[in-house]
Homo-oligomer: A and B are copies of this chain.
Amino acid sequence: MRASDRAYAALRDDIIEWRLRPGTVLPEVEQSERLGVSRTPLREALSRLTAEGLTTTAGGRGVVVTDISLEDIDELFELRETLEGKAAALAAERGDAAVFLQLQRELLEAPALISAIDPARHEYYELVARLDSAIDAAISNSYLAQAMRSLRVHLVRVRRLAADDYARLTAAAAEHAAIAEAIAAGNPRLAQAATTMHLHRSLSHVKATHTPQ
């Protein structure tokens, strides 16, 4: 693997996992020494992060980790509803029903995964990621898929803010199962509606856990 890829992945994870807080400046020499690479590949990594919106160049003062405000979350979910609603509808039109039926079955059994010992819920999130991938493949629209991929980076970051308790995750699994069911049934409008429902509930949950004060 290339040094620039390693630097990019390391920095991206640090930002997504909130180990690098918003506002943190990332001087090139300091970070290149921390990650054990030279300045050249590190600069490329920073360029990619800035293109994705995870960092911004603060005019002569280096790049800084971007903040995510509550307004940002609203905007993020507004775009997400647009893109993922369309994607679900297209998947219902073009997707393979068998694939989504299988995903629906697995999602209905997801509570077992959530109650398992893994506190990070890797198995559950991996299952949801497989649903995303199946939708990506079904829509056969690389531009739309690319737009959603660039969104998901920010969404993972937001997800780390929310308290993903057992109750919410089981509800979310049921909502995902409903999306998969609608796609498997070949019903575009229902798939879009199920997606809208799920995103609104997710957004409500995030805002409820993040603005109690």
Contact = CB atoms under 8 A, between A and B. Distances in A.
B79 A147 contact: yes
How many A residues touch the partner, as a band? Answer: 20 to 34
Contacts of A144: 75, 78-79, 82
Interface in A55-83: 72, 75-76, 78-79, 82-83
Contacts of A29: none
Contact of A146 (B53, B82, B146): B53
Interface stretch (A18-26, A42-50, A121-129, A201-209): A42-50
Contacts of A150: 147
A152 to B, nearest CB: 12
Interface string A75-107: 110110011001000100000000000000000
B51 A141 contact: no
Given A51-B51, A147-B147, A78 B44 contact: no
A47 B78 CA distance: 29
Given A82-B83, A82-B86, A86-B82, A76 B44 contact: no
